[in-house]
Structure formats: structure tokens, C-alpha cells
Structure 1
Amino acid sequence: MAQPNAKPAAGAMSKVRQMSLLLNDMQIIDLSHTLEEDMPIYPTHSRYFHTLWDSFETGSRALLYQLVINEHCGTHIDATAHFLREDHPEHLYMAETPLSQCSGRALTLDLSHFKDTDLVTTEMIQQWERTHYTIERGDIVNFRFGWDRYWEPRSVSLAYSKSWPGLSGEGAEYLAAKQIKAVGCDVLAIDSYYAEGSPAHYALLGNGVNIIENLTRLGEIVGESFMVAFPLKIKQGSGSPIRAVAFK
């Protein structure tokens, strides 16, 4: 049996070296919004604060800021614990969520023509599969609504958080049945602003499918890409801010 750190045979290339060369040959796309005060937030969630703690002017040897942030501020991922009670079989806090849930092949559907009242249906997803890629177990599925065009400070505009489209409950159930890892979107929540009872959240999280919200630049990865969206390791976390990126 080969040792973990054994040198590859002559002429062979290690998996790490192969991966390094492959990634260096791909474009890396930042799918995350910048964390800043006054950014859009879900109407009922607490705000983000970035407060000066110490600086050179106050005699410190270093510059320090304190962050006060809701787990669901900015570009973030929902743990299944966000909507599920502890006795639910799919209940996992953020620190318990396998990192394998947060990376993989990403398939991004372009629905930038949607209005705020539109919903993604099962039929729409199946039609996309017939003409593009078949959604498979372990995939991450993103919906590009183009809503990031409204991402502005709240003091400038509330358009981003006023209303938005989303995924229907039956569409979410269809994806969950395919045993995908996660669903991403460039809106405040995967359920439409007009949805009642958060059916998409319950269908996805209830089947162990994580949700990634407030993504941006999805237009640059429409189709197939490789995505990474690692969370902070928060004990009893219902979610976490992330730095989501895609390789294409």
C-alpha cells in the first residue's frame, strides 16, 4: 500500500499536482457580496456592524475592528437547523454540517427574465435539463434571477429587499428527490417574498439540502461550473456568512 506522502512513480503526477494545474487553468469567480454596513438585510433580521476597536491613532500597534453580524447576513448558507427542530432526522447545526455539502459541480439556471411574482416550477427545471445538463446526485443547483442588480445600500434603495421571485415548493421537492447538496440563489431567500409557509425551505432543509442565499455574479457561471461555499464553524449555528467562489 502506498504511503500517504510517498513520492509518485517516475513520470506520474500526484493528484494534488493535477488539481493545482487544473485550477490554475480555470477562471475563479467571486460569488459573494462585500460585507458592509447599510447593506440589504432580510426585513426581520438584525443588521451588520463593523466597528473600530483600536487603531494606530489610539496608540495601538495594530488596526482592529469588531464585527457584529447575523448568521444570515450577506452571502450566506443555511444549516438545516435553521428551520428544523433538534428531533428532526436531518437537523444539523453549522459546525456539524459536512464540508462536502459545500462544494461540488454547480449547475446554474438563468431566469433573469423573472418578475418578483414568478416561481420556478418543476416543469421549468425539467425543460432546462432536457436542453442543458441533467441534474445529478451531489450537484449544487443555482437560480440566477438577476436580483443582484438591485443590491445597494438600504439608504439608497430598498428594491432588493422589497420583493423577489423564488423556487416553488414542488420545484424544491423535485430537487430534493434528486439528492443534490445545495440550492443557491441571488435573492434574499429561496422562497419568494410572496410565498406562504416557506415551502421551499422546508422541502430542501427537511431533506438535508442546504440553501445558499444572496449570491452575485451568477450570470458569469450559467451552465456548469465547480463551486465552493465553505461556512464558518459555528457551534449551534443556524447558518453562516460564506465566501462563495466558482471555478469555470
Structure 2
Amino acid sequence: MCNACVIENVKQSMMSRRQLFSGAAATGAAAIAAGALAARPALAQASGKVVDLTHVLDENFPTFDGVPGIAYEEAVNFDSSGYQLWKLTIFEHSGTHIDAPLHFSKDGTSVAELAPETLICPLCVIDISAKAAEDANAMVEAADVEAWIAAHGEIPEGACVAMHSGWAAKVGTPEFRNTPDGSFAFPGFGKSATDLLAGMNVAAIGVDSLSLDPGNSADFAVHNSWLPGGRYGIENLANLDQMPATGATLFVGAPKHARGTGGPARILAVI
């Protein structure tokens, strides 16, 4: 894959979409927040078991560009000062993290500006692990969403819809990111699915892989359509194999730094 070509395509797509989505983002965010409030009754059905959907972030956690996502520098030493403190250098899109609308739009919503109502939401898990076992670049498609609805009922407005591909089990191995020849290869969402979910006022999508788009994507179609619409994404989720298809409530511990395009997050689910 030509990374430079991909990056240039993304830049051009972002510029051409900026005017289109500037109004849509505000409208989308308002609709999502309203949907989240409407979905409140769905949040009261949990028994109280908490499952951490967050990977531990360290220097070895895989990143899209292969550069370590976090670096530590000792700022205060315990032996000399009686307490200890690290200075951290962190790339926003590292570990289990949020993609805010600003990540793929010039003037979209930052991670600090995400509506709080969208950060506590019903969780719907679509299992494509069988497809992913056959195809490393498998996608959640519209047909998968429709099959989920047929089996489990309507997806609530304001929900987070997460892809369980089984990819989290590959963290710590080269296969989480690449094929043996170095090509990106991991599952993600297809635009047919996210377009359908956008029409349902879903607040967020999540993946247990490195990116919302599959590894072989050349145009980041999901990033370029989902995020500028005022919605957010979560990448590198853990423990989705412990989640029911429906019935859990997601708590998204989004960072709140100004101008943030995203950032590492603590994601918890209550079943």
C-alpha cells in the first residue's frame, strides 16, 4: 500500500467535504444528543457487572503509523523527592481511543466538545468474527446490521454500535496490524453499514481493531463520512467477546483537552 498516496487522497477528500459537512455536523450532533436522551430508559436494565473494554497503553501497543503512541520521562523521582511523577508524550490516536469529528473535518466538534449525553449509551455488538477469520479485511456491512436487527430488535437512538471481530486477541502480534508482507490488514466498518446507522441517529461506532475503516481501505470512506457528520468512533476496544449483543450500557471516559481530535479513553461497560 502507498501510504503517501492514501494520505494525499484523504487530504483531498477532507477539503472537498468540509463545506458539505459543516452544517451537517451541527445538525447531526443535535440529533444524536436528542437520541441519547430518548434512549435513557434502555440504560436502567443492567445488573451491575462492570467489564473494562480498554487495553493498557504502553510503548509497545500497535499504532497506525508504527510510531510508539506514548513515551515516558521521569519528572520527579520518588527516592529523592518522596513522590513520583511522569512526563508523558502521547499521540492522540493511541491505544483504546476516541476519534472525534474534528479528526476528519477542518472545523468539526473536538473531543472536549462531545455532548455528555452521547458518552453514556446503550451498547449493541455486531459479531463478524466468523467473517474476519476468513478475511482479515472483513467489514460490517448493511446486511450485518439488518441481520442484527432481525435477531435482537431495533437499535436505540444514541447507541454505540461496536464490531466484534475477534481482533483484540491479536494485540501483541504483528497480525493485529499487518500481513506478513507488510500490508495493512484488519477488519472495520463498511460505508453501507455506517450510512444505515447514521439514519438511525446512532451516536458512535466502535471496533476491536486498529481503525474504523478496514486495513485495505484506500480512501477512509467511513472516517470521511461518519466523523464529519458530528458522530464519534472508538478504536482498539478490548473484551467485546464478553459482551452480550444487546443490553449493556457503555460509559465512555472521553478526554477533554481543547482542540482535541480524539484521545486515549477508558471505556467501561455495565451488563
Indicate the TM-score class for this superposition, using the shorter chain for normalisation.
Answer: 0.7 to 0.9
> Contact between 1:137 and 1:180, CA under 8 Å: does it hold in 2?
yes
- For residue 175 of structure 2, what is the aligned residue in structure 1? 159
- Tell me the SS of whatever aligns to 1:202: helix
Shift of the alpha carbon at 1:45?
5.5
Runs of 4+ in 1 over 3 A off after TM superposition: none
CA apart distance, 1:22: 7.8
- Structure 1 residue 46: deviation in Å? 5.4
- Asked whether the equivalents of residues 97 and 236 of structure 2 are also in contact (C-alpha less than 8 Å), the reply is yes
Pair 1:217 & 2:234 matched: no
Q: Flag the structure with higher helix content.
A: 2
Are 2:139 and 1:122 equivalent residues in the alignment? no
1:77-123 deviations in Å (ceiling 9; x for gaps): 1110000122xxxx101111112222111111111121212222101
Instruction: Summarize the Cα distance change of 1:61–1:128 in structure 2 as closer, same or farther, 3 Å threshold.
Output: same
Cross-structure match for 2:207: 185
Q: Which residue of 1 aligns with 2:27?
A: none
SS at match of 1:206: helix
Deviations 1:218-237 (A, max 9, x none): 01113121001121111000
Distance 1:45 1:184 in 2: 22
The Cα RMSD (Å) is 1.7
Unaligned runs of 5+ in 2: 1-43, 179-184
CA contact (8 A) 2:122 2:249 kept: yes
1:196-247 per-residue CA deviation (whole Å, 9 max, x = no partner) reads 2111112211222210000000011131210011211110000011100000
Q: Which amino acid aligns with 2:177?
A: S
Measured at CA, do residues 131 and 67 of structure 1 come closer, stay the same or move farther in structure 2, by a change above 3 Å? Answer: same
Q: Tell me what 1:74 maps to.
A: 95
Aligned equivalents of 1:150, 1:203: Cα separation in 2: 28
Matched AA of 1:142: A
Distance 1:133 1:50, change over 3 A: farther
1:145 aligns with one of 139, 142, 165: 165
Change (3 A) 1:176 1:45: farther
Q: Percent identity?
A: 26
Q: Which residue identity is paired with 2:153?
A: Y
1:160–1:187 CA contact under 8 A, matched in 2: yes
| Amino acid aligned to 1:160 | F
Match of 1:3 in 2: none
CA contact (8 A) 2:124 2:162 kept: yes
For each residue in 1:103-148, what CA deviation from the matched residue of structure 2 results, as whole angstroms up to 9, or x when unmatched? 1111111111212122221011101110113112111101101101
How many angstroms apart in 2 are the aligned matches of 1:138 and 1:196? 29
Is residue 121–residue 171 contact of structure 1 (8 Å, CA) maintained in 2?
Answer: yes
- Cα offsets for 1:55-89 (capped at 9, x unmatched): 223x1120111211111100011110000122xxx
Give secondary structure in 1 for the equivalent of 2:146.
Answer: helix
Which residue of structure 2 lines up, in the alignment, with residue 63 of structure 1?
Answer: 84
Unmatched runs of 5 consecutive residues or more in structure 1: 1-20
Tell me which residue corresponds to 1:242: 265
CA distance in 1 between counterparts of 2:244 and 2:226 reads 22
Aligned length: 218
Equivalent residues of 2:226, 2:232 under 8 A apart? yes
Counterpart secondary structure, 1:244: strand
CA contact (8 A) 1:110 1:222 kept: no
- C-alpha contact (below 8 Å) 2:102/2:228 kept by paired residues: no
**Residues 17-47 of structure 1 deviation map (CA, whole Å, 9 limit, x = unaligned):** xxxx987x41000000011121111126553
